[in-house]
Each structure stands twice: as C-alpha cells, then as structure tokens.
C-alpha cells in the first residue's frame, strides 16, 4: 500500500470517528437537558417547544450519521476503489480532446453523485422536515429547483470548468496563479450577480410594504451609513417554515432580505434589532475579512493542486491509472475535506467572534432587549436546540450557543 494511501485512510477514519463521536455527544447532551427549559428561555419557550427542538435536533443528527456513512463509502469507491479511474477510462475510449474529456468526466461524475444523494435530500425534505412541520415545498417545486440548478450548472459551471482545465493544460508552470485569478473574479461576479439574476429564479423578492417598519429601517440604515438597493421580502414560506434574514450582493447590488416567515414572528423592535445585528457584520468588515480569507485559502489550494498534479504518486495512491488535469482536480476536491476537517474549529471560532461583535454593534444601534427577544423567537420558531454540547458546538456552530449569546447581550 502506498504511503499516501495509508495516510489518507488514517485521516479519513479519524475524521469519520470524530464526527460520530461529536454527534453522539450532541445527542446525549440534548437528551440529558430535554426535560427542563433553560432559565434564560423559560418565560418564552414552553417545555413542549423545547422538547420538540430536542427531538428535531437528534433526528437530524441520527440521519446525518447515515448520510456520513453513505458519503464515506462512495468516497472510497471513487478514489482508491478505482471508480474515478473507471469513469475516466470510459470517456477516454471516445478519443476526444483532453479538454472535452475532462469536462465530460467532471459533468458525468457530478450527475452521478447528485443522483446518489437524491434519496437523502428527498427524505430530509419530505420526511424529517415534514414530520416537524417545517416543510412547505411540493414535489413539483422540489423537482423544478433541481432542474434549475442543473441548468445553472450547464450555463455557468461548464464554462468555468472549461477555463480552469484549459489553464491547467496550456498556461505553463504558473497556471495556478491564472486559475486563481479567474476563480476570484468569477466569485466576485457571482456575489454581485446573485441577488439580481440568480436568486429570483428560485424565489420571489418583493419590496417591503409595511410603511411603519420601512421608516424605522430607513432611519437605521441612515444612522449606520449603509446604502443598498433596498429592503426585500423573500417568499421563504414557499419552501420552509424556517425564518432568516441576510445581506446579499456586492458593491452597488447590496440588498437586505427578510424571510416572510421571519417578519410574521417578530415585532418592529425585533426586526430593527435583527437588522442592526446584520449591519454590524458590514460595519465591522466581517464580509470583507471573510472574503479575503477565502481568496487567500483558494490561492493556497491552487498552489497545492499544482504540486500534486505533477506528482505521479498522487494518482496511483488514489486509485487513478491515467494522470490528467481533470483527475488531479477531482481527486484534490475529494481528498482536501478529509485533511481540513480538524481545523474547522478555527473557522467556527472566527465566525462566533464575528457574531459577538455584530451583537455588540446591535446593542449600540437598537434596544438589546429586542434582539434578545428576537433571538428567543427565532430559536423557538426554528426549533433550534438551546442546550448544545460545547465540543460539538466548537466544531460545527458558526453562532455562539443560545445561552452564551444572550448572556453576552445582557452583560452591561
């Protein structure tokens, strides 16, 4: 067995076992606290609602373990099991150009992996989400979304794949710098274009009509010096009962978006506080920092891929017979998450730090009690667990645990 194959298997086994261990910790911690609502939430969240959140969370965790097992099996099949090599050899028999072959291998693999994932997506949407009263989508809408996503992949994804593969084949020793530049420009373009051209393909966005709320929001935006293309309401209730609010876009295309489900559950004070929190991310430059970090990590990734692409052992160790640029790209995408899983707490910690800073900003611009109340409502409406395991939270949670976050907001 090749040394890198052994290293890959060791890391894969360690990451899978760690994920299962974290999942079991989370389930045990949630169930151990399901019979008592934490004091900070006892006034607004009933025991029945708290137990529903516990059941919802543990059900998703158990299902995620099944999904993890399925994904791990297929990861091994595609890599050291020779699945990718078999698919590659099948397309090579047609004796097409290297670029065309690479595009077709990547597209066919994407289709196969999507088909393998379909049963899990269907079960999650139409069984788990349905059981707990969150699913509002229909099979027709679900299939339409799937078709639209496939069309976007063809229209947007294929040209990008073609450019990257062409650069890998033709741009010489420093192809990775050119590819990184293309990827960065594409990412910025998508951030700019998403709210205007892509998101409306899936949802209906309408201007906020509540004049009283709109006046308060405009005043908040003016105080914070934030300009956008407007405040929009998205028909999230078309697919789910979950609520959310977010910023989207880039430059002159910035938009503020509220789910219609969220607006129905919050008062004007609470909406203003939630928006102040989101504005905090903008004013504290969290979006720019995250984007810069992503760009730098992508640069490092392309540099690493350039080295691995010219290493024959990388292909043989991962079960690929014929070295090629597209095989290197696919193997890199398969292998990288296995090795980066253990640094995920660093990124989660950074995200939670940003959430605390955004909360601090919200306290300066709105009534912190309204933000506390809004958070409690959102935890209740989304059936989010109030009692996460600390170590599981350290790995997975981009937001601080509910009790810690509210204690931070209430601290003078």
Q: Using the structure block, give the residue that is written with the tokens 């791990």.
A: 72
Selected catalytic residue, list 88, 270, 272, 359: 359
Selected catalytic residue, list 88, 270, 278, 389: 278
Tokens in use for 337? Answer: 């998450």
Tokens in use for 21? Answer: 């261990």
Dihedral Cα 59, 64, 67, 68, nearest 10 deg: -150
Cβ burial of 317 (10 Å; 0-12, 13-18, 19+) is buried
The most distant pair of C-alpha atoms in the chain lies apart, rounded to whole Å, by 70
Alpha helices in 82-174 (DSSP H): 83-92, 98-123, 129-131, 139-152, 158-170
Does residue 268 have an active-site annotation? no
Instruction: Report residue 244: phi and psi, to 5°.
Output: -165, 170
Tokens in use for 122? Answer: 């269907």
Order of strands, sheet of 255-259, starting from the edge strand that comes earlier in the sequence: 205-207, 231-234, 255-259, 245-248
Does residue 359 have an active-site annotation? yes
Residues 6+ apart with CB under 8 A from 177: 302
Cβ burial of 196 (10 Å; 0-12, 13-18, 19+) is middle
- Residue (of 221, 243, 239) closest to 230 by Cα position: 221
Catalytically active residues, by annotation? 278, 359
């Amino acid at each position: 067995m090749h040394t890198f194959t052994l290293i890959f298997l060791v890391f894969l086994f360690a990451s899978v076992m760690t994920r299962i261990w974290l999942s079991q910790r989370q389930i045990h911690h949630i169930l151990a606290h399901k019979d008592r609502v934490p004091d900070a939430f006892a006034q607004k969240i009933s025991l029945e609602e708290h137990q529903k959140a516990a059941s919802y969370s543990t059900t998703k965790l158990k299902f995620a373990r099944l999904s993890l097992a399925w994904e791990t099996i297929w990861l091994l099949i595609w890599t050291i099991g020779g699945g990718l090599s078999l698919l590659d050899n099948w397309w090579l028999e047609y004796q097409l150009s290297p670029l065309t072959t690479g595009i077709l291998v990547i597209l066919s693999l994407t289709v196969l992996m999507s088909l393998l994932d379909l049963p899990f997506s269907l079960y999650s949407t139409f069984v788990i989400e349905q059981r707990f009263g969150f699913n509002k989508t229909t099979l027709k809408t679900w299939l339409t979304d799937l078709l639209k996503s496939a069309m976007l992949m063809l229209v947007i994804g294929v040209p990008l794949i073609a450019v990257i593969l062409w650069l890998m084949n033709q741009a010489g020793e420093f192809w990775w710098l050119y590819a990184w530049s293309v990827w960065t420009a594409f990412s910025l373009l998508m951030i700019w274009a998403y709210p205007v051209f892509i998101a409306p393909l899936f949802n209906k966005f309408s201007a906020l009509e509540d004049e009283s709320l709109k006046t308060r929001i405009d005043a908040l935006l003016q105080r914070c010096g934030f300009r956008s293309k407007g405040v929009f309401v998205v028909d999230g209730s078309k697919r789910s009962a979950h609520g959310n609010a977010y910023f989207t876009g880039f430059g002159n295309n910035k938009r503020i978006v509220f789910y219609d489900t969220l607006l129905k559950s919050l008062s004007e004070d609470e909406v203003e506080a939630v928006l102040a929190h989101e504005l905090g991310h903008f004013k504290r430059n969290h979006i720019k920092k995250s984007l810069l970090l992503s760009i730098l990590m992508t640069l490092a990734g392309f540099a690493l891929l350039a080295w691995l692409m010219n290493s024959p052992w990388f292909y043989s160790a991962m079960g690929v017979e014929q070295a090629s640029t597209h095989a290197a790209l696919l193997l890199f995408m398969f292998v990288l998450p296995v090795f980066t899983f253990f640094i995920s707490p660093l990124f989660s910690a950074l995200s939670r730090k940003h959430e605390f800073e955004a909360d601090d900003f919200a306290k300066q611009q709105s009534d912190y009690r309204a933000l506390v109340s809004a958070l409690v409502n959102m935890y209740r409406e989304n059936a989010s667990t109030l009692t996460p395991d600390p170590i599981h939270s350290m790995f997975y949670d981009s937001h601080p645990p509910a009790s810690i976050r509210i204690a931070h907001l209430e601290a003078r």
